[in-house]
Amino acid sequence: MPAIKHAVLLTMSVLGAYLYLQVPFLRYYSLQVFALISIFYLILQKKQRGSVHLILPENSSANLALINFAFLLLTGSSGSLASPFFAITFIELFFLALAAPTKTSLLVALEIMVFHFSLSIAVSSNFALSTAELSNLLALPLVMIFYLFAKDQYQKAYHNSLLIDAEERELNRAQSDDQAVAEFISSLINRRLPMLEFLLSFPDKNKTAIEGEVKILKRDLSTLTRRIDKKNQEEDEI
C-alpha cells in the first residue's frame, strides 16, 4: 500500500477509536470488540503469512490499522493514560515502528499521544494530568524514537551482513575460477604444448594429428568457459 494511503488509514483508525469511545453504549463493549478484532487479525495473519506465529503485519499492511484500532479501544476504554493495560501501547508503537515508514510511524505516534491526552484530560477533575499519566504520555515519543533507532541499526547491520556474504561468494567464485584456469594452463603447458611442439617438428606428416590436438584444445577451452559461466549463473541465482 502506498505510504500516503497507509498513513491516512492509520489516522482513520485512531480517529475511529476516539469516536467509538465517545458513544457510551459502544464503549461498554470495547473489551469484546477488542477480542473479536484480535481474533480476526490473527486469522488474517495466518491466511496471508501462513503462520499464526507471525503476528507482526507486513510492511504498509492494512492489518496494522486494524490491530492499532483494537489496541486503542482496549487502553482507551480502561482509563487511557491511567489504564492497567497502558503497557500494550508500547507493543502498539513497536508494530508501528517495524511495519510502517518512519514518517508514518512518527505521525501516528503523535496522534496516539493526542488520543490518550484527550481521553485522560476529559475525565480528570481539574483538567490536569497526574504525574503518572504525564510520565506515560511523555514516554510514548521516547519509546517510538528508540524503536526507530533500533530499526535503523538493525537494517544497517543486516545490509552489512548481505554485503559481507556477497563479498565471500565473489571471493569463493574467484578462487574457484582461478583454480579451474590454473588447471587448464597446467594441462596446456605440461601436455598439449609439448605434444604440439613434437608434432610440428614434422608438420606435413602430422597434419591430421595437429588438427586433432587443436580441436581438443578448443574443446577443453570451451568446456572451461561454459563451466565457469554456469557456476557463476547458479551462484547469482542463489
Of all helices (H) and strands (E), which one includes residue 152?
Answer: helix 131-187
d(CA 114, CA 137): 9
Q: Whole-model pTM above 0.75?
A: no
- Contacts of residue 175, defined as CB under 8 A and 6 or more positions apart, other chains included, come to none
Q: What is the DSSP track for 167-234?
A: HHHHHHHHHHHHHHHHHHHHHIIIIIHHHHHHHHTSTTTTHHHHHHHHHHHHHHHHHHHHHHHHHHHH
Question: Digits of tens for pLDDT over the chain (238 positions)?
Answer: 788 888 999 999 999 999 999 999 999 999 999 999 999 988 888 887 665 466 777 777 788 999 999 999 999 999 999 999 999 999 999 999 988 889 999 999 999 999 999 999 887 777 788 888 899 999 999 999 999 999 888 888 777 776 666 666 666 665 565 566 666 666 655 666 666 666 566 666 666 776 776 777 777 777 767 776 666 565 555 5
Q: What is the 3-state secondary structure (H, E, C) of 12-61?
A: HHHHHHHHHHCCHHHHHCHHHHHHHHHHHHHHHHHHHHCCCCCCCCCCCC
Q: Nearest-CA neighbor of 102 among 1, 12, 7? A: 7
